[in-house]
């Protein structure tokens, strides 16, 4: 099972986005997800016309559906 959640944030600075990403990563560390899970957090940005941070994406992969749903809702 793979969960992919993207959140687009309007009007954020690169620093705000970096802080938001660090908070998500910190939550994942504190949640002590099982070793069979893989969690990745990505910065979503556009660089074609300069650097524009637009959000964050979180991808979680696990062998079961319900535990991943619970974790996804908390994030």
pLDDT on residue 61: 84
Residue ranges covered by each domain of the chain:
2-74
Is residue 63 over pLDDT 70? yes
Average pLDDT score over the chain: 78
Alpha-carbon radius of gyration of the chain: 13
pLDDT on residue 53: 63
Of the candidates 32, 27, 31, 24, the one whose C-alpha atom is nearest the C-alpha of residue 55 is: 24
Query: Cα–Cα distance between 37 and 33 in angstroms, integer?
Result: 7
pTM of the model: 0.71
Pick from 2-6, 30-34, 39-43, 49-53: least confident: 49-53
Strand partners, 44: 55
Q: What is residue 9's three-state secondary structure?
A: coil
């Amino acid at each position: 099972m793979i969960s992919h959640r993207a959140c687009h944030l309007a009007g954020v600075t690169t620093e705000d986005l970096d802080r938001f990403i660090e908070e998500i990563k910190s939550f994942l560390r504190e949640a002590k997800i099982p070793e069979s899970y893989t969690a990745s957090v990505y910065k979503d940005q556009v660089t074609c016309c300069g650097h524009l941070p637009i959000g964050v994406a979180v991808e979680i992969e696990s062998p079961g559906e319900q535990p991943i749903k619970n974790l996804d809702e908390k994030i």
